[in-house]
Homo-oligomer: A and B are copies of this chain.
């Protein structure tokens, strides 16, 4: 049964799903749906996802959106996916869900809010909002500190002290990688103080090599695009 993945590699949840599929040998057809070209707002795409957001999948006659859920579905519906990605044990699984739930209202909200208000708004023809960006950066930094002091505590290098990554590691690390699209000084200000986070990114990259780097090869382009938009916006 064919799996179609509607994504935009500029979007961090899209990248998490791409890496998961490639790292687990799941075959799929990538249907690029570029947000900057408003392809996610087309009537054709509304048939795939009425919420008009990427990523989304179509698997046979089954349609699904929301990135965490797509990761859970892929880990459950495809045979031979290693247990560490989405453990069968009820309690271990509950902990993975718990991180993903927490992610929504904390790391993701801070990170997406920061990137949007400090840069990405320009790509949609909207003005930047430095106050909202500063507010989001507070939540982002608080979330990074909480990952270090709580979620990454334990014996293993991954979330929940695991020896191998789960879908939560992939979702959260891809979210943090979005900050690569910011200016170097912003990235240093936000991520620099969090050495444990930087090690975790490396561990996740190594655990999913070479796919992690391949899928993130778009980041310099994203950074360049946002830089140019800022230069343009600053012109009188």
Contact = CB atoms under 8 A, between A and B. Distances in A.
B50 A97 contact: no
A98 B50 contact: no
Interface string A105-132: 1000000000000000000000000000
Nearest to A104: B104
Contact of A90 (B50, B68, B73, B93): B73
Interface string A12-30: 0000000000000000000
A69 interface: yes
Contacts of A64: 94-95, 98
A81 to B, nearest CB: 12
A72 B65 CA distance: 19
Interface in A208-234: none
Given A102-B51, A104-B104, A91 B66 contact: no
A68 to B, nearest CB: 5
A57 to B, nearest CB: 10
A76 interface: yes
Give chain A's interface secondary structure class.
helix
Interface in A62-105: 62, 64-66, 68-69, 72-73, 76-77, 90-91, 93-95, 97-98, 101-102, 104-105
B98 A65 contact: yes
Contacts of A66: 97-98, 101-102
Contacts of A105: 104
B90 A69 contact: no
A84 B106 CA distance: 30
A73 B50 contact: no
B150 A69 contact: no
Contacts of A98: 64-66, 69
A76 B87 CA distance: 13
A150 B104 contact: no
Given A68-B97, A104-B104, 14 more contacts: A50-B150, A62-B94, A64-B94, A66-B98, A66-B101, A66-B102, A69-B97, A69-B101, A73-B90, A73-B94, A73-B97, A76-B90, A77-B91, A77-B94
- Nearest first, the 9 A-B pairs at minimum CB distance are A66-B101, A104-B104, A69-B97, A73-B94, A69-B98, A76-B90, A66-B98, A77-B90, A69-B101
